[in-house]
Amino acid sequence: MSARGRLSGPVVDTSSSPFARLRPLPVTAVRLDDAFWGPRRQLVREVSLPLQYEYLERTGRLDNFRRAAGQQEGPFQGLYFNDSDVYKWLEAAAWSLATDPDPALDRLVDRVIADLAAAQQPDGYLDTYYILGNQAARWTDLPRTHELYCAGHLFHAAVAHFRATGKSTLLEVARRFADCICDTFGPEESGRQPGTDGHPEIEMALVELARVTGERRYLEQALYFLNARGYGYAGGDEYRQDHKPFRELDQMVGHAVRAVYLAAGAADLYTETGDPTLRETLERLWTDMVTAKLYVTGGIGARHEGESFGKPYELPNERAYAETCAAIGNVMWNWRMVLLTGEARFADLMELALYNGVLAGYSLDGRAYFYVNPLADDGSHRRQPWFSCACCPPNVARLLASLPGYLYSVSGQGVWIHLYAQGTAHITLPGGQQVRLQQHTRYPWEGGIEIEVDGAGEFSLFLRVPAWCEDGASVRVNGQVAAGQAPGSYVEVRRAWRRGDTLELSLPMPARRLESHPYVAENAGRVALARGPLIYCVEQADNPGVELRDLVLPDRAAISAE
């Protein structure tokens, strides 16, 4: 095993990536104990993961592996990509073990991994839909049956499990399958099969597998899969992100989850290769999405048809698709862009999608989910405990379980703070200096953040001032004004710190009206209300006896928060 495979590593490991500006902290370096994220992550651990495991058993997803291993009789059950739900659950469980060790969960994960390993074929292949069906047909329907997509989620789970526990049991399964894929796919002149998957995911997964193992062939394979797009191997259409070569893309089109997963994979490849054409394409796509195809919640995907982006400014409210997985993909892509650039605009969008696009898909009791997140509803749309296509529940779980890894990162200059939440971070600066930061805050309800510094020496703290902070932010160190900064940027506070120093960041949070671009016809004469990072809605439960469509907000009406 390569020395690069560090235990309890970050969600995305850029520690040796030559073109990444920032390196995130390991998941275990941050402890969240605030009243907002703490209970939600506790729900994932104590409620969502056990319930999701029950559904994996009840719906035959785990039995598919046991049958593929010859331990049970019976046919494949469910949708052809059901393996991926097991893998996402494993990734969520692994990140939960990283921050909150649980012997019972650890044993359960080991049992699931044993079932997966027993089902793996001698050549490394692992996809129960084909193992239990027609093995001769494997790799023959890449546009539709998600073989490489499922493999990608297996690789992400394996990397998380290795980093969280130090165990290589799942990582060895992933490496055997990755070797099988590398031996199978490539340019026709190499004697291998040309092709790429109809659902992107394998690209970012192979990059992360390369980072944890040191195997460059996995990185090269990820680049091949990206470069193979646009030539008809994955169906040749916008829906599957196969209508043009990646570097020729200038609009976010087609299936929204696939689009942002592909962009996230390309961002990972840029951090490793520095290919400027990848960076240029990512900037074009991001600008197109943010200026014309993004909901006020950070949700993406306007159309139910194809779960897809619509035309520019096609953003209906009641008919919005805005899949929870698409918001998760939006978080993942923007997180990678933050690490590449250190630019606050990407962290702003990550925060917007996290608070308003992802959390909307998760119930307060941790037992139910939205697949689709419309921005208006007549009361008939309700969260469900599970779905026949169950991509969203374990996807929410894996993101929230890994959330500590998204708050901080490190550069040669110092520590970057991207998200605000009460808790403690243990940080090792590039020179080996040890620093402990303690955040005290009621964010997102209040905009005051106090950071206690336990460490000595000269370094910078970079604090994100969100673009929504239109009244500007103020920074004090030990009670003395240190800096002010325009919204939408990071403010740098550099000094020779001493133990016990306190930094206070004040982000004014007046309620504010948001107006759509005038081309969004459905929102003519309408405003949205926001405060801090949160977008608010008017609900019937809060306004009994009132027809919500008749409500009017006068232009000069004062708005207070309570």
Q: Which residues participate in catalysis according to the annotation?
A: 307, 391
Dihedral in degrees, nearest 10, Cα atoms 29, 160, 201, 69: -170
Rounded to whole angstroms, what are the CA distances from 297 to 248, 290, 356, 382?
Answer: 29, 12, 5, 18
Closest CA to 517 of 377, 324, 314: 314
The packing angle between helices 256-273 and 324-341, to 10°, is 20
Q: Reduced to 3 states, what is the DSSP secondary structure of residue 309? A: coil
313: left (phi over 0), alpha (psi -120 to 50) or beta: left
Number of H helices, E strands in the chain: 15, 15
Q: Reduced to 3 states, what is the DSSP secondary structure of residue 513? A: strand
Within 8 A by CB and 6+ apart from 546, the residues are: 540
Q: Reduced to 3 states, what is the DSSP secondary structure of residue 414? A: strand
Output the six-digit token pair for 280: 């240029």
Output the six-digit token pair for 34: 């605030």
Within 8 A by CB and 6+ apart from 324, the residues are: 357, 358, 360, 361, 362, 369, 370, 371, 372, 373, 392, 395, 396
User: What is the Cα–Cα distance from 480 to 504, expressed in whole angstroms?
Assistant: 9
User: What is the Cα–Cα distance from 299 to 295, expressed in whole angstroms?
Assistant: 5
Q: Reduced to 3 states, what is the DSSP secondary structure of residue 155? A: helix
Are 490 and 415 in contact, with CB atoms under 8 Å apart? Answer: no
Q: Alpha carbon 128 to chain centroid distance?
A: 26
User: What is the Cα–Cα distance from 510 to 529, expressed in whole angstroms?
Assistant: 10
Within 8 A by CB and 6+ apart from 136, the residues are: none
**Going edge to edge, which strands form the sheet with 489-497?**
23-24, 408-410, 414-417, 457-465, 489-497
Dihedral in degrees, nearest 10, Cα atoms 248, 280, 415, 482: -130
Return the bridge partners of 531, or none. Answer: 534
Are 245 and 231 in contact, with CB atoms under 8 Å apart? Answer: yes
